[in-house]
Structure 1
């Protein structure tokens, strides 16, 4: 029977595992925070567009004389004013439907939550790593937590993921060299 007590933890293997997890978690957190920022910006943009065009439709539909003046600014006949009001109304309906379907606000919250979960797991790994002896059950517990949080977050686009990786790989390497290698080297010397 394969039990945790039968398994002997190899500090070098654990260090390599923690370094890989640190890098993945750092990139995942950055990618989800970036996706959250994009979703928040998209939600705000659609909201401003919807409000602006809804007010414009209300204004133009109740002020026929103003519509004629507005149309003449662009060299158009006032005969096109019903077309302008109808077009603006259609844009409001379509953009409102898009905002409802795309759920940018909800997606932003889910991405933020995922980024927080990945960041929290990174901090937990750092706490475990600061101990001299890491019990194999602790590694398995971290693995279970990692598996759990990767099941729930929304997907991040490949472009966002690649950008996060480019932006964070140097930081991950610095953490690896200064935190994981440095701590273990000092422990080995004692």
Structure 2
């Protein structure tokens, strides 16, 4: 539906006191068309029509501004399509295959909101951040060491245990006896320390 027809239609469904506001919005948008400018953002239209009865951008965005948004969107839909680069044309070409201008407009709005959301996520989440999710189904307590298990592991790392058996800790997280024979494999000490720290 072209903007003029949309204006007339909206005046039949909107309350009489909004008719003047709809006409003011139509005039501002129409002037944009006459100037060859395709900027119909709510902020721009509200700024240009501030002294003519056009509400503020936030009022247009609110639920009560649905008729105002619909009128502005009809101008967006009627505006000549911008030439886009090859990458964008191939990525968004499917939008042009949608059946109506309104559908195409709504999809473009959603895509711009998605792009903005992705930009915000990149700002919030530092680059290279790794997030680990523990999705084990058992209760969290099932993976914790109880007091007896903890004391047993702590004893293996203790000086009492090492001295009692004449062992010594190796440089690879292993445990060796007096003759240098490996009693506990490399990484055992590190594994036990990690278990005590996280379980």
- TM class by shorter-chain length? under 0.3
TM score, norm. by length of structure 1: 0.21
The structure with the largest alpha-carbon Rg is 2
Name the structure where helix makes up a greater proportion of residues: 1
TM-score by length of 2: 0.20
- Identify which of structures 1 and 2 has the higher relative contact order when contacts are C-alpha pairs closer than 8 Å and 6+ apart: 1
